[in-house]
Amino acid sequence: MVRVARPHQWIKNLLVFVAPGAAGALLHGDVLVHALEAFGVFCVAASGSYFLNDAIDAEADRRHPRKASRPVASGLVPVWLALTTGAALLAGSLVLAAVVAGWHLTVVMLVYAAVNVCYSLGLKHEPILDLAAVSSGFVLRAIAGGVATRVPLTDWFVIVAAFGSLLIVTGKRSGEQRLLTAADTDHAAVRTTLGLYTSSFLQTVRTMSAAVTVTAYCLWAFDRAAHAHPGHDPIWFQLTIVPFVLGLLHVVRDLDAGHGHAPEDLAIHDHRLQLYGLAWVVLFAAGIYG
């Protein structure tokens, strides 16, 4: 049951800290407490979606070279138990959201639950829409952080989150295709859309997503500098563009090499990417507090 819940995937839920962190408000008052509450709510909801998805996908997963060993696909966890647990966790996340942050976060979680249920039931088989559905999960995490902590979200922030997410999801699809090709497995037999996407199409989407992400981040950094220190520009925010772009190019290179089928592994095990992230944090902190 713990394996189905996938606690190692909870690293994605750290996105709830991005909005208050980018606003320089994470350590102000009880903002951190509210962000931690939103993180916990998303951990419950995400695990619920994994239970539902594994139950519905059990048959297809048995044909996958790696997913065949998942507890539901292998028969260790009955399908009915996975469905019941998934529904209970998703419902529980809505109750928790209402308790810790009111109706605003509840609405975000309701949208997240609805998108995941629709994805499991059919959107995963629709080209383009499946990319949008998975990407929305990342964006909703970022929005939830702003909603739970009452930090306003700028337009550029939302655009960076949206197209950055699309880049990662498209890279995941490319990695899955390469993995199935190496295992001599029919793409469409595992996931319909994998048989409908060409490698050139996925590469085009990755290129477009990366270009929009960099452009929007640059505009956000200059806008953030203008608002953080009116009349005085120490250029720290602008300097964050350097590690951001270097980190993004590093990710694009990994995705192009087919290493994106498990994007959470990049965040956990890629030390070079972590160094870029640390450099970004240092420069951003200097912009806020320097």
Centre a 10 Å sphere on the Cβ of residue 102 and count the other Cβ atoms it contains. 12
**pLDDT (tens digit, 9 = 90+) per residue, 140-165?**
999 999 999 988 888 888 999 999 99
**pLDDT (tens digit, 9 = 90+) per residue, 35-74?**
999 999 999 999 999 999 999 988 888 887 778 888 998 8
Specify the CATH number of the domain 1-153.
1.10.357.140
Q: What is the predicted pLDDT for the residue at 257?
A: 83
What does the domain layout of the chain look like in residue ranges? 1-153, 154-290
Centre a 10 Å sphere on the Cβ of residue 21 and count the other Cβ atoms it contains. 22
Q: What is the predicted pLDDT for the residue at 230?
A: 65
**pLDDT (tens digit, 9 = 90+) per residue, 172-230?**
888 888 887 777 776 666 677 888 888 899 999 999 999 999 999 999 988 887 776 66
Q: Is the pTM of this model over 0.85?
A: yes
**pLDDT (tens digit, 9 = 90+) per residue, 256-277?**
887 777 777 777 788 899 999 9
Among candidates 18, 192, 51, 45, which has minimal Cα distance to 108?
A: 45
Structure tokens that stand for 103 in this block: 């109706």
Share of the chain above pLDDT 70, in %: 95
Distance, CA of 226 to CA of 19 (rounded, Å): 18
Q: What share of the chain is helix, strand, coil (3-state, %, to 5)?
A: 80, 0, 20
Q: Is 112 left (phi over 0), alpha (psi -120 to 50) or beta?
A: alpha
